[in-house]
Amino acid sequence: MKSWKTKTGVRIYRILNGRCNCYLISNGNRFLLVDSGTKRDWNRLNKRLDKLGATHASLVLTHCHFDHAENAAKLKQTHGTPVWVHRSEGTCLKNGENPVIQGSTPVTKLLIQVLRWTRQLVRLNYAPVNHDCLVDERLDLDPFGFPGYILHTPGHTPGSLSVIIENEIALVGDTLFGIFRGSVFPPFADNPKLMVQSWKKLLDTGCTTFLPAHGSERDKAVLKRQYDKYIKL
Ligand SMILES: [Zn+2]
Ligand SMILES: [Zn+2]
């Protein structure tokens, strides 16, 4: 399992990869799970949490798209996992609904239109779950035993969140993608302009490593180049 370590020894495991990368932040015996993956990942996720002694982790959802939130209800059912989400997506989670999905390129715009016409999008709904903590602009993680904070980075969805650890590593959900070489622009975004402004917020944290939910890590230089390009469009 791939992992990263910050200067003071906080460990970040990529506990699931593939369809949606999920990360587990570990500081001693405290754990924070960032995203929960899809239901076909459930067994793998549950086994790995158990192996790492992290079944008591709290869950932060970077946003409520199904590929991130599908195991949230089962985690709560099985382990009593507290679920944290941005205030603007609390209702989506309670209803098991995706926040609006919008294409951000000609191809993905067309794809979403077709899915909407054929009523396929509703099939992406998931088991509903109540949230335990609502995040606004920023939530300090020090009281929970982690040197960092959760930051509102909207644009991919209205309530997209990033988890910032020691202003060194950022877990960014779908606020940026790591799939296409030299690019961080996600193929889906509710409000691309706002998302690019969120990239600036991420750059301003001083973080040097950005871990997306899709694809591989991106460094600060790539994010800065992409910000400079897209802010002018
Ligand atoms: Zn998403
Ligand atoms: Zn996603």
pLDDT of the residue at 208: 98
Tell me, letter by letter, the H, E, C secondary structure of the chain. CCEEECCCCCEEEEEECCCCCEEEEEECCEEEEECCCCHHHHHHHHHHHHHCCCCCCEEECCCCCHHHHCCHHHHHHHHCCCEEEEHHHHHHHHHCCCCCCCECCHHHHHHHHHHHHCCCHHHHCCCCCCCCEEECCEEECHHHCCCEEEEECCCCCCCCEEEEECCCEEEEECCCCECCCCCCCCCECCCHHHHHHHHHHHHHCCCCEEEECCECCEEHHHHHHHHHHHCCC
What's the Cα-to-Cα distance from 12 to each of 19, 27, 108, 137, 141, rounded to whole Å? Answer: 19, 9, 31, 23, 15
Closest C-alpha to 35, from 144, 136, 161? 161
User: Does the pLDDT of residue 194 top 90, yes or no?
Assistant: yes
pLDDT of the residue at 71: 98
Q: What is the extent of the structural domain holding 140?
A: 3-122+131-230
Q: How far is the CA of 49 from the centre of ligand 1 (A)?
A: 23
Residues whose beta carbons lie less than 5 angstroms from ion ligand 1: 65, 174
Ligand nearest to the CA of 64: 1
State the amino acid at position 92 in one-letter form: C
Q: How far is the CA of 99 from the centre of ligand 2 (A)?
A: 12
Q: How far is the CA of 140 from the centre of ligand 1 (A)?
A: 24
pLDDT of the residue at 122: 77
Question: pLDDT digits over 23-69, tens only?
Answer: 999 999 999 999 999 999 999 999 999 999 999 999 999 999 999 99
Q: How far is the CA of 68 from the centre of ligand 1 (A)?
A: 7
Ligand nearest to the CA of 37: 2
Ligand nearest to the CA of 21: 2
Question: pLDDT digits over 84-105, tens only?
Answer: 999 999 999 999 999 988 899 9
Closest C-alpha to 23, from 179, 154, 209? 209
pTM, two decimals, is 0.96
What is the count of structural domains for the chain? Answer: 1
Q: How far is the CA of 8 from the centre of ligand 1 (A)?
A: 31
CATH number, domain with residue 148? 3.60.15.10
State the amino acid at position 203 in one-letter form: L
Token pair belonging to 130? 């109540």
